[in-house]
């Protein structure tokens, strides 16, 4: 049975509305991902004084906050598919009267975002949720000014294939890296969700096909400085021993040609 875009969005919106509290501030700049290298170390994003920024899948608003506070973005725009997440963003930014234009929408559609307008589009641990990667990246291209930057992070596609076997105390490949079919997980964090595995090459080639120029692809060493004691348990999904085999996260910086 093929699962339609509409089904994916219905299931994932419902799921994200329930799991939203579990993710509050968890996957946001300055962190690009669990146990991964951070923005202060990488410096992928230039100062944004006088420049607008957009986040796809803005979650609880912590990345937007960082872009305002640390990078001096002049305008914040964000979209997310989850009403609960957008409410978190509104409340979080409202604490400091930070203005933002927010849309309830899937990132593979344009709910009224201006074109050739943004110096920066970011997406931190959200891009992989899109049901249509190619359409999403074409939209990113359309939102950017010539010379504008697109920076995103997502769970490393090889990391998604590794599971831990407690009996043998070894990691093993639990699924094929090559299989890109959407999967319905009936109990992801306790909710039904549709996961959409994609290869690393699929992301890179889709960016190129959208007209973006890939400047950097980062697969970092495990960042021990942010590891807590519990992160050393090998069976934990994001764990130091697992991240020593495969990075948890890949990070991409791309640009729209001048």
Ligand X SMILES: C[S@@+](CC[C@H](N)C(=O)[O-])C[C@H]1O[C@@H](n2cnc3c(N)ncnc32)[C@H](O)[C@@H]1O
Among 33, 53, 82, 207, binds ligand X (CB under 6 A): 82
When computed from its CA atoms, the radius of gyration of the chain, rounded to whole angstroms, is 18
Specify the residue, 63 or 220, whose C-beta has the smaller distance to ligand X.
Answer: 63
Does residue 39 interact with ligand X by CB under 6 A?
no
- The torsion of the CA quartet 135, 20, 31, 161, rounded to 10 degrees, works out to -70
Going by the DSSP 8-state scheme, the letter that residue 29 receives in this structure is T
**DSSP codes joined into one string, 176-206:** -TT----EEEEEETTEEEEE----HHHHHHH
Q: Cβ closer to ligand X: 6 or 228?
A: 6
Name residue, tokens 């796809």. Answer: 56
Given candidates 67, 77, 126, 156, which one binds ligand X under the rule CB under 6 A?
Answer: 126
- Span interacting with ligand X, options 46-54, 124-132, 170-178, 241-249, rule CB under 6 A: 124-132
**Which stretch in 32-40, 121-129, 140-148, 218-226 sits in contact with ligand X by CB under 6 A?**
121-129
Q: Is 188 exposed, middle or buried (0-12, 13-18, 19+ CB in 10 A)?
A: middle
Please answer whether residues 225 and 256 qualify as being in contact, where contact means their C-beta atoms are separated by less than 8 angstroms.
Answer: no
Question: Residue count at the site for ligand X (CB under 6 A)?
Answer: 23
Strands 52-56 and 118-124: parallel
Binding mask 48-77 for ligand X (x = CB under 6 A): ---------xxxx-xx--------------
- Which of 35, 44, 81, 120 is the binder for ligand X (CB under 6 A)? 81
Binding positions for ligand X, rule: CB under 6 A? 12, 16, 23, 27-28, 57-60, 62-63, 79-82, 85, 106-107, 124-126, 129-130
């Amino acid at each position: 049975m093929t699962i339609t875009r509409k089904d994916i969005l219905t299931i994932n919106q419902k799921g994200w509305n329930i799991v939203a509290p579990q993710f509050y501030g968890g996957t946001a700049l300055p962190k690009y991902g669990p146990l991964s290298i951070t923005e202060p170390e990488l410096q992928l994003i230039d100062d944004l004084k006088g420049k607008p920024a957009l986040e796809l899948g803005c979650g609880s608003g912590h990345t937007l906050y960082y872009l305002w506070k640390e990078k001096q973005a002049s305008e914040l725009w964000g979209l997310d598919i989850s009403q609960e997440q957008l409410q978190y963003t509104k409340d979080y930014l409202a604490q400091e009267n930070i203005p933002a234009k927010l849309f309830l929408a899937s990132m593979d559609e344009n709910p009224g975002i201006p074109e050739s307008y943004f110096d920066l589009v970011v997406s931190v641990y959200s891009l992989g949720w899109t049901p249509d990667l190619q359409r999403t990246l074409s939209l990113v291209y359309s939102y950017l000014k010539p010379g504008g930057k697109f920076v995103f992070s997502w769970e490393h596609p090889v990391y998604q294939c590794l599971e831990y076997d407690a009996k043998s105390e070894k990691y093993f490949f639990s699924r094929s890296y090559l299989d890109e079919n959407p999967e319905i997980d009936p109990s992801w964090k306790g909710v039904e969700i549709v996961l959409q595995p994609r290869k690393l090459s699929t992301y890179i080639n889709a960016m190129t096909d959208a007209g973006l120029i890939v400047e950097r692809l980062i697969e970092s060493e495990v960042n021990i400085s942010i590891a807590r004691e519990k992160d050393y348990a090998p069976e934990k999904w994001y764990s130091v021993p697992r991240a020593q085999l495969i990075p948890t996260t890949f990070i991409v910086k791309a640009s729209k040609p001048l």
